[in-house]
Amino acid sequence: MNLPPLDKLVPDYIKGFEAYIPSKPDAELKKLYGCSRLYRLNNNENPLGPPAAARAILDRFPPPRAAIYPSGDAYYLRNRLAERFGLQPDQFLVGNGANEVIGFVIKAFCQEGDNIVTADKTFAVYEWVAEFSGFEARRVPLKDFAFDDAGMLAAIDDRTKILFVCNPNNPTGTYWNRERLVRFLDRVEGRRIVVVDEAYCEFVEKNDFPDGIGLIREYPNLVVFRTFSKMYALAGLRIGYLAGDREVVNVIRKTCVVYSVNTLAQEAALAAIDDGEHVGRTREMVAEGKQYLTRELGRLGLPFVCGEGNFIMIRLSMSDTLAYRKLMTRGVMVRAMTGFRFPNWIRVTVSHREALSAFIEALAAIAAPGDGSGGAP
Amino acid sequence: MTMPTETKPTALLRVRCDVNHVPMVTSFVENGALLYGLAQAQATELTLAAEEIFTYLCQASRADHSVEISCLGGGYYVRADFRFAVKHFNMRAFNLTATVSLSDAAGMQEMGLLIASRFVDRLNFKETDGGGVQLALIKEKIYPQAVRPPDIRAAHLETYAVRAPNSEELKCFAQLIAGHYPAGTVPAMFQFPGKVADMAASGEYRAALSMGDGGRIGGGIFWQSAGAKTVECYGPYLFNQQKGSLMARELLEACIGDIARSQTVGLINRYPTADLPVEHFEPLGSWTMNAADGAPVSLTAYFRLMHEDPGASVWTHADLEGFLREEYRRLVLPREILAVTDQGETQNPFSVLTTEFDRFLGQVTLRPLCSGADIEKNLLSHIQLVTAEPGKAVFFLMDLAHPWQSGFTPFLLRHGFAPRAILPYAGDGDIVLFQLGRPSS
């Protein structure tokens, strides 16, 4: 039987869209690139692993429970989040990773002809979800590596429904302080949904960093995203959440996929959330790692941007996608930044010393002239 | 950059493969060509080419099968497409040489595909979803040549904004390129500013310029989709900028930013200038083209992948393995190289090659459509035919995702083709570009 007439069946906005191709499993990558070990410094994972209480949940999970559906709306976790942040349980929605809740919000508020506003060089998923859903993503250039509040306000029109701010920004690590965020919210005047993605907020120790969830009472158009993937090291279980005003969340709930978050993820997250010691140890590791990396990058003469979060962005004098491949042959996986519109930059996760030393050693080798590859044909 | 989808003005005709329908087809194509902007002379040539193709299809099929013909206005060109199901046609007939007696000039004149190719600027084949083939005839409009613009428009700029130009700015940009860069070092399209403006208006090309006050232009870059996964960029071109200016990098990064989250896998530059920020690229390979005066010009192509390479498997004949291993090592591309062996299995009796003519660039590109027991004979016939017309660079593209294509390797090497470059992900997999010895002259 012939293929269906895909040219006619597929909408134009899907035809022009790039499917995200995740990297292959480590074992396959090691085989392809001929390396015996692989340090994963590409996804901002926490090398310390999940907090102790979450590990205990994973260790003692009874296999028969895998046969039982999870709580469809993460009942206990939402209750715990409500206690922790002083809100009501129905002000939270839990998703299969924060990516899923991005989709919930866009589906809830956008219809044909609407647009969202975000930055050009930030986490790609806001733009992706909007565009493959058929909505325009208005991209405002970063200013000094930071979200440009004035530019975003100027990009708003009658069809703008949502403004996405990544705070701190992935990949630059810049952030809006409380004063700047509040000023922005004031100027939006509650007319649009403002999403503040705080995926990396637990890494920030600056006093002026705003608590987005704490602003929801005052700004009911504010929706805050958080994740258990980064600080709490549950990326493999896929769990994140949003918080907002009850009426706003009730609308978003209409688009929410229930039962999408598995039991293990819900229980591990519930156990992880109160582990302050884990947060402290991680921050300590990141601080030490940043100190080491910035010193070594200075020694190599490579420009970098080191802001908040567990990552650093480095500018190279070669194509970042070539650097990615060269580093892979030396057992180090980083994130090439062309897809973030930072060509010739790489982003590196701040990890433990052994991995960072391997990275610096490999980087020094590939940056050296005549490393034997990538030369003239 | 979201590559343009087919939203251009289009007319459709579905017709049986019956020679009695020739007048209907020619009338349709001619009226479409005129409606979409070709002058009468070009419309007539496109119509004659369409007549040859339709007559040819009538001979290669039964009268109860049909063909869909569309006429599309592309702004700077008109394209007539013929779409049909492979199963209804004798595909052997799509060899350019199928009915040609090479020893008999009259025989060549009877060859519909060849005649059609001479009437148009480009002729190409494309396999479509669902087991079909699309044969496209493209005829471009005629434009006046550039005149040198006032030098005041090309200015050293201390402050500027990189942005998409309007049509007038783009025409001025093309004029400045033609005035500042020697002919032969830049694509000939920049000799025709009106064409460049129409190319951008068509949505197939994009541009970014460094603009100062008063309409002054510091430089610019131009880019287009060159296949499903590759974008080709031209420039950056700078006018009167100081050495070491960041402008070239900013222009290139504007282009990269535009396509960074599209389906583009690779960005290629085949006309590098001294202003190209080569640190953004990898040298891919070199091949030879004939300049306008007939002199051979060696072109080094630069390339960058837009994504982290996930690795891939490629199929090869033993004769090409050494080239592939060395190039993949040099490019640091992780590839599992799989050997294709002939175990005496039965083959199709006939192979099929498609031939793409690009009169504008002076090149002919052969692509295998299927393998067969007559590969060598078929290849030789094609070589003889395409080199009969002098001044053309002849290429052969081999897609390493398809093991059967490797069967052409020993015959290509034996008859004067040499591998020049690997084009990563340019087809279903990586493509090896072979060039026939040197451009025929």
Q: Of A198, A199, A212, A210, give the one whose Cα is nearest residue A245.
A: A212
The full set of domain ranges for chain A reads 6-48+276-367, 52-272
Q: Do A16 and B263 touch (CB under 8 A)?
A: yes
Fold annotation for B282-441: Aminopeptidase (3.40.630)
Confidence category of residue B440, pLDDT binned at 50, 70, 90: very low
Q: Do B305 and A28 touch (CB under 8 A)?
A: no
Residues B348-386 have pLDDT tens digits of: 788 888 888 776 677 888 999 888 889 999 999 999 988
A3 touches chain B (CB under 8 A): yes
Residues A156-201 have pLDDT tens digits of: 999 999 999 999 999 999 999 999 999 999 999 999 999 999 999 9
Across B74-93, average pLDDT = 81
C-alpha dist (Å) from residue B114 to A6, A166, B109, B347, B412 = 32, 58, 8, 27, 22
Q: Which residues of A touch B314 (CB under 8 A)?
A: none
Rounded to an integer, what distance in angstroms lies between the CA atom of residue B366 and that of residue A140? 44
Across A104-122, average pLDDT = 97
Q: Do A325 and B333 touch (CB under 8 A)?
A: yes
Q: Of A44, A37, A42, give the one whose Cα is nearest residue A233.
A: A44
Q: Of B158, B418, B415, give the one whose Cα is nearest residue B288.
A: B418
Rounded to an integer, what distance in angstroms lies between the CA atom of residue B434 and that of residue B421? 7
Q: At the top level of CATH, which class does the domain A52-272 belong to?
A: alpha beta
| Model confidence at A376: pLDDT above 70 | no
Which A positions 342-371 lie with beta carbon below 8 A of chain B? Answer: 343-344
Neighbours of A257 (CB within 10 A): 12
How are beta strands B10-16 and B66-73 bridged, if at all?
antiparallel
Q: Of A169, A168, A164, give the one whose Cα is nearest residue A209.
A: A168
Cα-based torsion angle of the residue sequence B79, B83, B86, B88 in order, rounded to the nearest 10 degrees: -130
How are beta strands A311-315 and A304-305 bridged, if at all?
antiparallel
Residue type, position B353, single letter: L
Rounded to an integer, what distance in angstroms lies between the CA atom of residue B84 and that of residue B88? 8
The full set of domain ranges for chain B reads 1-142, 151-280, 282-441
Please state, rounded to an integer, the average pLDDT across all residues of chain B. Answer: 86
Q: Do B310 and A321 touch (CB under 8 A)?
A: no
Q: Which residues of B touch A16 (CB under 8 A)?
A: 2-3, 5, 262-263
Which A positions 128-157 lie with beta carbon below 8 A of chain B? Answer: 128, 131
Rounded to an integer, what distance in angstroms lies between the CA atom of residue B69 and that of residue B47? 12
Q: At the top level of CATH, which class does the domain B1-142 belong to?
A: alpha beta
Across B427-434, average pLDDT = 92
Which residues fall within 8 angstroms of residue B121, CB to CB, at 6 or more apart? B77, B138, B139, B140, B358, B359, B360
Which A positions 12-41 lie with beta carbon below 8 A of chain B? Answer: 12, 15-19, 21, 23-24, 28-29, 32-34
Alpha-helical runs (H) found in B202-282: 247-259
At residue A168, φ and ψ (nearest 5 deg) are -70, 160
Contact B251, B210 (CB under 8 A): yes
Cα–Cα–Cα angle for A228, A233, A235, nearest 5°?
70
Residues A144-159 have pLDDT tens digits of: 999 999 999 999 999 9
Q: At the top level of CATH, which class does the domain A6-48+276-367 belong to?
A: alpha beta
Task: Calculate Rg over the CA atoms of chain B.
Answer: 23
Q: Does domain B151-280 have CATH number 3.40.630.30?
A: yes
